[in-house]
Structure 1
């Protein structure tokens, strides 16, 4: 008897997103709070070598993006690497990718929500964070196109703020003096750690792939949208990082709590600092919106295969969104925001994301040329890069990430054994 495909016969999501919507969702996921917050820890790890780390992170991200795009064209369904790993490597590897994504990105959701609260109302950040989670969960509940339109507006605002930062730095005499002091002053380990931290800011292009079931003509749209979004993000990040280094210098950048706001002040335009702070809050809001969107779709895919409660696989009859999965994600994130300090969760999230993309590259490696496999060097380099960056992260992040992945593997085993019997 032929085996019924996973998720067969269940309600499907409606294809509403075009190329522009997919690119904007990817930009909203990447050009977010990371560019406002990741530069400081990267400078601590690598000094001015953070620019090398940025380049390395971009190379790994490009390989991941190419592998993900080819796989998404082959398997245009919600779930991203959870689906690719399951179909190409086996159920366990798909499950491990989905587990890494859902757990890591749920922590990222809470971190982004707290970032919004910190910038909007210091001292009451938890209350603001919960309000942001509730509002964005409600928005996603009413339809994915509304989320895409809000993301488009957020991306426009953040890009304008970042352009203002770059222009302020370029016209500053402070930048001319500081630029002379910039030299690559970090060893290989520092550059690798900076790349691992900065990779966190690139990781949003997976959101395009996880929305594969809602994209029109996914075989054509997704492979075009991912490289476009990644290329724009790399140009923006490189310009902003070079400006911050030129204006502040590596030592001052490493010590700054709000590097871009401090950079415009040092460039002689302190009036721009409140605008930059507002842009940071908006950027974190955009990242939170896209994160909730992506985590709920992977939750939907895993619930369809009964690795998560099957009730989470429900699709709303009117709005055609995974409404129960979205509400569940919103509830869990709100609980984390109220009860947990998630500063250390950023490192864990980076570890989980790198494991997720390692599985994506391994899956792409198994494609045949007729199935649209990228040049073999792409998944090989992407897999090796993900492993190297994951284990270059701080030891606490590596240990906590490995422990959570092991717990997921144990959970998988306990759910599979009774079914085999």
Structure 2
């Protein structure tokens, strides 16, 4: 095993960079900009390799943000197709795009593993950096536990003989497999994500092909009366389905040509997700026009009615299993890198960030995420959803604040990708993002409030305890952004 940083090496590095942190590096002409940024804080021999290409990044990001149209059924059921399709077209501008722009600017400014943990630490200091890491860790355990449960549900639809206990065990087995695959390397996780993306999108493509032949345009304008709409469920479903565009920032240190790949992946995924969300609904509502039927896991039934048989419903169930497995694999990768980033900043004992000798992956962090997620699979699904929503809001709100602070703190830093529009563009991104975070928090239930309070209190205690264990020596920022001559435009 190797440890990312020895204490002596970090002290030596920090002493040289205390007054020049983030001031940029002298890069020889023709050198690889991605690799040079890493060399400041970690020799290449102890850093994870940059093994993730654009296609793999697109696959991971698509699964981590939407994973197909699964989970949209309550949106249609609560309001009908008119408001659902309209909301799915408008929501990206208010919620998804601000997340994507924020993540693109900060991930390319600081292209290191750890992502949003490092952004917040750089902007607001070690205290808030630790809180961001802790909130993200607890949120990841809850979020990851959702997908073995989803896999179990679809397994039960395809093979009822498994029973409740058997299907739950299958879900836990998938979690174990995803954990082991992550230890083998992020490149393998990325290629698996590409395959899963194809398998997830295909059933919805067939729904569109079969459904649009029977679509009556007037059915798309149908809706529940305004006084009958369940606005709480409608808005909660809408915002929850457009989350996650910051997730892949934690693996920025392992993305090839990150300055170009990251913003381009965002554009591709935003476009693909909008189509996968809106078109299958438009293709299905003419035949499936009883809105009260549109509840969780309704897509297989809707698909069977369109096809006049069971083959399309089975494909949808298989796609749901692939979506759950792909999301889970990607979440184990991204959440473990958030922990790894905390060890790099000395917020956690450096030994936890040890890299596997052969695969150069943070295997201890990966195992911790896998084991913790397995424990949370015992909680009811609706409780997991509520807890996940609030914790996600907390951490993303800090990320938007960090974006604004770093703009003011480092106004002259070269940014490979920069949100346009000056102060107005920044205000749109931060303001819209924070309003949506607040809306998600308000729409969450009692379990969300309890979990948020417990997480915040334990974070305050752990900061003090771990700080004393590490002799109170929180390391200063030592990661420098890579200078670039030409900003990337999308």
Q: Same fold by TM-score, threshold 0.5 exceeded? A: yes
Q: Pick the structure with greater CA Rg.
A: 2
Asked if the contact 1:315–1:323 (Cα under 8 Å) also holds between the matched residues in 2, the reply is: yes
* Mapped contact 2:147–2:325 kept (Cα < 8 A): yes
**What's the CA shift string for 1:143-167, capped at 9, x where partnerless?**
1111111111110111111111222
Alpha-carbon distance in structure 1 between the residues aligned to 2:288 and 2:129: 44
Give the conservation status (yes or no) of the 8 Å contact 2:389–2:440. no
Aligned length: 415
Write the distance in 2 (CA, Å) between the matches of 1:99 and 1:52.
36
Distance 1:305 1:184 in 2: 53
Instruction: Say if 2:103 and 2:246, in contact at 8 Å, map to a contact too.
Output: yes
CA RMSD, Structure 1 to Structure 2 (Å) = 2.8
Q: Does 1:403 align with 2:451?
A: no
Q: Secondary structure at the match of 2:197?
A: helix
Aligned to 1:353: 392
Structure with the bigger percentage of helix: 1
Q: Is the 8 A contact 1:169 1:263 kept in 2?
A: no
TM-score normalised to the size of structure 1?
A: 0.88
Q: Decide which of 54, 62, 73 is 2:88's aligned counterpart.
A: 54
Equivalent positions of 1:305-384 (< 5 A) are 305-337=345-377, 339-368=378-407, 370-371=412-413, 372=415, 373-374=418-419, 375-376=425-426, 377-384=428-435
1:10-409 matches, cutoff 5 A: 11-32=46-67, 35-36=69-70, 38-43=71-76, 45-48=78-81, 49-55=83-89, 57-59=91-93, 60-120=95-155, 121-123=162-164, 124-172=166-214, 178-179=219-220, 181-182=222-223, 185=226, 190-191=230-231, 193-249=233-289, 251-254=291-294, 256-271=295-310, 272-337=312-377, 339-368=378-407, 370-371=412-413, 372=415, 373-374=418-419, 375-376=425-426, 377-409=428-460
Decide whether aligned partners of structure 1 residues 310 and 241 sit closer, same or farther in structure 2, where only a CA change above 3 A counts.
farther
| CA gap 1:141/1:191 in 2 versus in 1, 3 angstroms | same
1:216 CA displacement = 1.4
Does the Cα contact within 8 Å between 1:169 and 1:244 map onto a contact in 2? yes
Partner secondary structure for residue 150 of structure 2: helix
> Separation in 2 of the partners of 1:187 and 1:88?
45
- Structure 2: any 5+ residue segments left out of the alignment? 1-14, 23-39, 156-161, 420-424, 474-490
Structure 2 contact 400–430 (Cα < 8 Å) conserved: yes
Change (3 A) 1:420 1:293: closer
Q: TM-score, normalised by structure 2?
A: 0.77
